[in-house]
Structure 1
């Protein structure tokens, strides 16, 4: 089950939450297939101005940062990881504006089979 946690500068996010969730879910489904739409989890974290620092000072307009949890086996398919990176970046830029594209960061984190649980059941 793909999980995306997205840190977004609150002024950029306000009023665009539903669109961003929808576009990110679409990006995941385009790579994984339609089955992933129902299990993709997107969490948006709005960060207020002054609470995001880069280089030791508050950043005036930081680009979104994504932590994307995938099954560890996905890393055996670099084409899939590349497609997810492109799709997620395109989704974010499509909703928030192309000016954020070059700064969007995505950290892919892998979980081994049996090291996550949903509803009390190991996955």
Structure 2
């Protein structure tokens, strides 16, 4: 199950952005790994007030959104999905740019975390 966590400036979340971003990120994952991912993709938006974020040691300099995609490692190395991590990074970056505009492209950070088999579970069962 793909799980996306987005750290974003709280001030960027205005009630209209959230559904657009959730849809765009879900679509971005499904476009790369397949339709199976769409109904099980989880998107979590974590708003961080600008004064609680800093860049280069300077408080208040909030970067563009940071997107972390966590999913089973096997989905990132499947032979039917060549170059999955690179394609996901590109697709997720495009999703963020679609919502926030071209100006954020150079600062969007995407992290891909592959969870080894047997190291995740749902409902108390190892997946």
TM-score (norm 1): 0.92
Q: Map 1:30-69 onto structure 2 (within 5 A).
A: 30-69=31-70
Looking at structure 2, the residues matched to 46 and 20 of structure 1 have their Cα atoms a distance apart, in angstroms, of 13
Query: Over residues 57-83 of structure 1, what are the superposed CA-to-partner deviations in whole Å (9 max), with x where a residue is unaligned?
Result: 124341111111122231466611111
The runs of at least 4 consecutive aligned structure 1 residues that moved more than 3 Å come to: 75-78
Alignment of 1:1-123 (within 5 A): 1-15=1-15, 16-73=17-74, 74-75=76-77, 79-123=83-127
Q: CA contact under 8 A between 1:70 and 1:109: conserved in structure 2?
A: yes
What runs of 5+ residues in structure 1 fail to find an aligned partner? none
CA RMSD of aligned residues (A): 1.5
SS at 1:35 equivalent:
helix
Gaps of 5+ in 2: none
TM-score (norm 2): 0.89
SS of 2:118's equivalent in the other structure is coil
- SS for the counterpart of 1:67 is strand
For these two proteins, the number of residue pairs brought into alignment is 123
Distance 1:25 1:85 in 2: 13
SS of corresponding position for 2:71 = strand
